């Protein structure tokens, strides 16, 4: 492998000089992602590049193959499980931030966007045309659409209502690990039958190639109505959403819960007083307002049936905005009041389960798991109850020693793995690779793991693209 200075210098020959950085602080910043444990010093990348075209991405990958340099693709680095951080020494970070093109083809019901466009920007652009971005991810303030497609996440939206990100992907331009540029998919709203290679890239977590441009079907925005319910028992919110499905009601666009503890700080921040219990939120969608309102009333009724102390359709726009912001900006829960001890993020996990198990999952988070340090930390439960996918977050006092905090992070990952094995589910939002790969391997077995590794080796013979995310040396 060439030395660092030579690599940085070579890269400036390949792509525009101003888009190559060997600066220590840029490298450290781009090397870190949102996973709670600091990147090891030895894994700081040797360069960050910001290509502006698929051709430039291709050149970087060809160069990396030639010199066997690991390349880590990065949208905005909001991944919680370490997928965008380097696992090998001497790597290049390939940031997609310059891919921000946006083309609207509304007559053909699609848009074409650069992979690096920020989700919030895209959401606002689409709103201007009367379309809805079919995903609402907590990190939308910085997360890119390429990241959401690569992980196939829709965040705070309900799959059973609108489908998942992958269902909107009509076409993809990508660069294979060996540098070839491919364009796959269709321009028709009719999806390809049989082999559809877009499905190998959307949701691939960057294992099979670098997504540079995406063609996505448009989702016309509809009228909406909003329901809130407050419950004495958090488990009752789980039961309420089970009932929504049992009664064959149209699944809401958005169905979220926050435990009473998780509501406290966001409510205080928005001057809403003390929460009247744990909170359930639902957004319904209809072609007419009457339709949306009727669905909302039915959900409010279900909430009351399942022992909500209060449930109603929210009609005041300010109240609606504040309640939904309390959920959407969930990191607020680590905010403090004067006099309280500052809590730091200890561990966070994401666990989908079969619908019937929602109340059991909540009990597992609260009492049934056997991890002693987690039981000492402060637990907040929140998440996508409408999609049967909940989060638990453990906040730890700032006075805890760093090692104990680190242990909280590890124990949270262990609880996540236990839940997947216990209930036969897997990540529905954050992805499967990197930190989660060992659990994936355990769950699906060696034959499935070998299949994945062989597929990877077929397209990335030198194992240069995001190596380490599948655990083993991906090269042949």
Partner 1 sequence: MSQEELKQDILDVVTNCVKCRFCLAVCPLLDITKGWQGQGASGITLAIYTALKWEVEREYKEALRDLLFSCTTCRNCVVRCQETSVGVDLLDAIDKSRQFFVEEMYGPMPQQKKPLEFLERYGNPYGMLPSERKEWMKGLGVPDYSEATAAEVLLYIGCTATHDPRIADVARALIQLLKAAQVKFGILEDETCCACPTFRLGEQFLAEEIVQENISKFKSRGVKHIVTLSPHCFDTFLNNYPKSEMQGIKVQHYSQLLRDLIKQGRLVLKSKVEKKVTYHDPCYLGRHNDIYEAPREVLGSIPGIKLVEFNRCKADSLCCGGGGGRMWADFEAEEERLANIRVREAISLGAEVIVTACPFCLINMEDGVKSVGVEDSLKVIDIAELILSAIEEQG
Task: Provide the strand spans (E) within 218-355.
Answer: 223-231, 254-258, 278-286, 308-314, 343-352
Reported for 287-294, long-range contacts at CB under 8 A and 24+ positions apart, including other chains, are 287/222, 287/223, 288/223, 289/223, 289/225, 291/223, 292/222, 292/223, 292/224, 292/225, 293/225
Stretch that binds partner 1, among 24-32, 152-160, 283-291, 449-457 (CB under 8 A): 24-32
Site string for partner 1, 296-335 (x = CB under 8 A): ---------------------------------x-xx-xx
CA 232 to the chain's CA centroid: 30
| Contact window for partner 1 (CB under 8 A) among 74-82, 225-233, 234-242, 367-375 | 74-82
Residue (166 or 334) nearer to partner 1, CB: 334
Shortest reach from residue 116's CB to partner 1, in Å: 12
92 binds partner 1 per the rule CB under 8 A? no
- Nearer residue to partner 1 within complex by CB, 120 or 443: 120
How many residues does the structure list for the chain? 476
Tell me: does residue 337 bind partner 1 (CB under 8 A): no
41 binds partner 1 (CB under 8 A): yes
CA distances to 350, 351, 365, 383 from 372, rounded to whole Å, are 20, 20, 12, 24
The residue behind tokens 């013979």 is 461
Task: Write down the least CB distance from residue 26 to partner 1, Å.
Answer: 4
By CB under 8 A, is residue 18 in contact with partner 1?
Answer: yes
Q: For residues 170 and 258, which CB has a smaller minimum distance to partner 1 in the complex?
A: 258
Which residue, 32 or 407, is less far from partner 1 as judged by CB? 32
DSSP structure class, residue 385: G
Binding of residue 102 to partner 1 (CB under 8 A): no
459 makes contact with partner 1 (CB under 8 A): no
**CB of 37 or CB of 471, closer to partner 1:** 37
42 binds partner 1 (CB under 8 A): no
The rounded distance, in Å, linking the Cα atoms of 81 and 229 is: 32
Q: How far from 346 is each of 170, 226, 374, 377, CA to CA, in Å?
A: 39, 32, 9, 8
Fill in the DSSP letter of residue 164: -
Task: Kindly state the smallest distance separating residue 468's Cβ from partner 1, in Å.
Answer: 19
What dihedral angle (degrees, nearest 10) is formed by the CA atoms of 351, 352, 354, 360? 30
How many residues contact partner 1, by CB under 8 A? 37
32 binds partner 1 (CB under 8 A): yes
Binding partner 1 (rule: CB under 8 A), the pick from 12, 26, 53, 414 is 26
Shortest distance in whole angstroms from residue 77 CB to partner 1: 7
- String of contacts with partner 1 for each residue 338-367, x by CB under 8 A: ----x-xx----------------------
- Please say which residue, 24 or 317, places its beta carbon nearer to partner 1: 24
Closest CA to 380 of 346, 336, 409: 346
Q: Would you tell me the crossing angle of helices 437-444 and 402-423 to the nearest 10 degrees?
A: 20
Quick one: how far is CA 110 from the chain centroid?
23
Q: Which position among 58, 76, 408, 466 is part of the footprint of partner 1 (CB under 8 A)?
A: 76
Query: Could you tell me the maximum CA-CA distance found in the chain, to the nearest angstrom?
Result: 68
Each residue 248-287 as x (binds partner 1 by CB under 8 A) or -, in order, gives: ---------------------x------------------
Rg (CA), the chain: 23
The nearest distance, CB 416 to partner 1, in angstroms, is: 18
30 binding partner 1? (CB under 8 A): yes
Binding status of residue 398 toward partner 1 by CB under 8 A: yes
Interface residue with partner 1, options 4, 9, 29, 414 (CB under 8 A): 29
Residue closer to partner 1 (CB basis): 15 or 353: 15
β-strand 223-231 against 210-217: which pairing, if any?
A: unpaired
Burial of 454 (0-12, 13-18, 19+ CB in 10 A): exposed
Surface-to-core class of residue 420, CB atoms within 10 Å of its CB (0-12 exposed, 13-18 middle, 19+ buried):
buried
Min dist CB 379 to partner 1, Å, is: 17
Residues 131-150 that bind partner 1 (CB under 8 A): 139, 141-142
Name residues whose C-beta falls within 8 Å of residue 51's C-beta, 6 or more positions apart in sequence: 15, 19, 57, 59, 60, 94, 98
From residue 15, alpha-carbon distances to 29, 52, 60, 188 in Å are: 21, 8, 8, 34
Least distance to partner 1, CB of residue 259, Å? 18
Question: Judged by CB under 8 A, which of 65, 78, 212, 284 binds partner 1?
Answer: 78
What is d(CA 89, CA 31) in angstroms, rounded to the nearest whole number? 11
Q: What is the DSSP letter of 398?
A: T
What is the binding site for partner 1 (CB under 8 A)?
18, 21, 23-26, 28-30, 32-34, 36, 38, 41, 48, 76-78, 95, 97, 118, 120, 139, 141-142, 269, 329, 331-332, 334-336, 342, 344-345, 398
């Amino acid at each position: 492998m060439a030395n660092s200075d030579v690599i940085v210098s070579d890269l400036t020959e390949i792509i525009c000089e101003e888009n190559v950085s060997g600066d220590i602080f840029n490298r450290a910043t781009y090397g870190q992602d949102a996973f709670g444990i600091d990147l090891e010093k030895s894994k700081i990348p040797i360069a960050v590049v910001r290509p502006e075209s698929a051709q430039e991405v291709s050149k970087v990958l060809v160069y990396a193959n030639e010199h066997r340099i690991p390349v880590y693709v990065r949208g905005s680095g909001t991944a919680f499980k370490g997928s965008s951080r380097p696992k090998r020494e001497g790597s290049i970070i390939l940031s997609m931030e310059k891919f921000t093109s946006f083309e609207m083809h509304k007559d053909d019901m699609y848009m074409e966007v650069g992979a690096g466009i920020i989700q919030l920007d895209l959401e606002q652009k689409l709103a201007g045309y009367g379309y809805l971005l079919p995903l609402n991810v907590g990190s939308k303030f910085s997360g890119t659409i390429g990241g959401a497609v690569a992980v196939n996440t829709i965040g705070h939206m309900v799959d059973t209502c609108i489908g998942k990100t992958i269902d909107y992907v009509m076409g993809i331009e990508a660069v294979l690990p060996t540098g070839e540029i491919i364009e796959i998919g269709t321009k028709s709203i009719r999806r390809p039958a049989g082999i559809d290679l877009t499905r190998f890239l959307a949701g691939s977590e960057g294992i099979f190639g670098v997504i540079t441009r995406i063609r996505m079907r448009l989702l016309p925005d509809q009228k909406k109505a909003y329901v809130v319910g407050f419950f004495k028992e958090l488990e009752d919110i789980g039961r309420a959403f089970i009932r929504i499905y049992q009664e064959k009601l149209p699944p809401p666009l958005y169905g979220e819960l926050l435990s009473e503890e998780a509501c406290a700080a966001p409510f205080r921040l928005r001057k809403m007083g003390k929460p009247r219990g744990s909170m359930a939120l639902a957004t319904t969608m209809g072609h007419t307002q009457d339709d949306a309102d009727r669905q909302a009333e039915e959900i409010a009724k279900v909430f009351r049936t399942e022992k909500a102390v209060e449930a109603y359709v929210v009609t005041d726009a300010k109240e609606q905005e504040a309640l939904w912001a309390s959920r959407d900006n969930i990191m607020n829960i680590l905010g403090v009041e004067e006099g309280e001890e500052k809590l730091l993020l200890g561990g966070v996990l994401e666990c989908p389960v079969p619908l019937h198990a929602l109340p059991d999952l909540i009990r597992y988070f609260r009492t049934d798991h056997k991890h002693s340090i987690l039981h000492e930390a402060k637990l907040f439960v929140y998440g996508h109850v409408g999609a049967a996918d909940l989060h638990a977050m453990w906040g730890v006092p700032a006075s805890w020693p760093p090692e104990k905090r680190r242990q909280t992070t590890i124990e949270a990952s262990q609880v996540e793995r236990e839940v997947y094995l216990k209930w036969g589910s897997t990540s529905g939002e954050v992805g499967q690779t990197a930190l989660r790969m060992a659990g994936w391997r355990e769950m699906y077995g060696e034959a499935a793991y070998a299949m994945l590794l062989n597929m990877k080796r077929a397209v990335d013979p030198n194992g240069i693209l995001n190596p380490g995310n599948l655990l083993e040396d991906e090269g042949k």
